[in-house]
Amino acid sequence: MPLPAAHRVPVVVRRDETTRPDEEWVVAEEPLQILTEAPGREPLRLAVTMRTPGHERELAVGFLLTEGLIRGLVDLAKPTFRELLPGVGRHNEITVRLARDFDHGALQRNFLATSSCGVCGKASIDQIERATPAIARGPAVAARAIAALPARLRDAQPLFEQTGGLHAVGLFDAAGELVVAREDVGRHNAMDEAIGRLVLDDALGAPPAIALVSGRASFELVQKAAMAAIPVLCAVSAPSSLAIRAAERFGMTLVGFLRDRRFTVYAHPERVAG
């Protein structure tokens, strides 16, 4: 059966000069092993990620899309999933059945590119730029709509309200209306889950205009948003130098320090109206 997303645990609370026993909710963190099964091939183990239980199918499909291994719903077989959720503390597995095999050379992409490694970072940007769809020049997004996004995402974070221990990603339309929100212990997982929902809904042809992440904007998050052709990426904290360079190359508007109805635009400000 599915694992719970939060647990009640005993704690000791210290306040002023008093100490008392209590209980608190903490977010669950469990491993998920993602496999693929293509026609004529044995199941292939791709990755193990630590995640918050609850959106395994979206996470697996989103991961495949954002890593360039599938193009969308067309590449998924029917039935698509085989799941093994044996219990807490062991590898939970999900196998995604594919309608066609993917290019196994794509697995050689450098997953460790950072702003401290200019050569591998440039190579990763080059490779991802070749793999990503072209990001459309529009739509224009009102500055007021961008400024209001954090409050709208916060309203869609019930687990954060309960535990205080998760990241979140929200996908919004150009008017700032929420399309999908996901919470997870890993911000990359939350992005994959939100994008995976788009894949399963066959909605990549008209992707949301804006992605908002509840943390910093890393290169990997820019990459994932670009693979889904999302034109505007916003973060409540700072972007990295490689994230800025990638956004410039991909034609993506990159917004940082989005909080208290203020923000800074680091790349392609032409989409921000007003």
Residue 74 lies in a domain: no
- Using pLDDT thresholds of 50, 70 and 90, give the confidence band for residue 104: confident
User: Is residue 65 in some structural domain?
Assistant: no
Answer yes or no: 117 catalytic.
yes
CA 163 vs. chain centroid, Å, equals 20
In a domain, 266, yes or no: yes
Average pLDDT for residues 139-161, to the nearest whole number?
93
Domain assignment present for residue 34? The answer is: no
In this prediction, residues 43-57 reach a mean pLDDT of: 91
Structure confidence at residue 62 (pLDDT): 97
As beta bridge partners, residue 253 has 232
100 is a domain residue: no
Max mean pLDDT among 73-87, 123-137, 173-187 falls in: 173-187
Whether 171 maps to a domain, the answer reads yes
Q: Report the pLDDT averaged over residues 251-272.
A: 96
122: Cβ contacts below 8 Å, ≥ 6 apart: none
Query: Is residue 249 situated within a structural domain?
Result: yes
pLDDT band, very low/low/confident/very high, at 83 (cuts 50, 70, 90): confident
**By CB neighbour count within 10 A (0-12 exposed, 13-18 middle, 19+ buried), where does 159 fall?**
buried
Question: What's the mean pLDDT in 121-141?
Answer: 73
pLDDT grade for 94, boundaries at 50, 70 and 90: very high
- Residue 172's pLDDT is what? 98
Residue 165: give its domain's CATH number.
Answer: 3.40.140.10
Give residue 274's pLDDT band: very low, low, confident or very high (50, 70, 90).
confident
pLDDT at 28: 87
Longest dimension (CA), the chain: 67
Q: Which domain holds residue 167?
A: 112-273
Share of the chain above pLDDT 90, in %: 68
* Tokens (6 digits) for 261: 């109805």
Q: Tell me the backbone φ, ψ of residue 21, rounded to 5 degrees.
A: -80, 150
Provide the number of structural domains found in the chain.
Answer: 1
Which is catalytic among the residues 117, 123, 142, 148?
117
DSSP one-letter code for 177: -
pLDDT at 2: 58
- Token pair, residue 55, equals 């959106």
Residue 64's closest CA among 39, 101, 92, 31?
101
Question: pLDDT for 106-122, tens place per residue?
Answer: 665 544 333 334 434 45
Domain annotation covers residue 107: no
Alpha helical stretches, state H, the chain? 56-66, 118-131, 143-147, 149-154, 158-163, 187-200, 219-227, 241-250
The pLDDT-based confidence of 219 (bands split at 50, 70, 90) is very high
pTM of the model: 0.89
| Local structure of 53: helix, strand or coil | coil
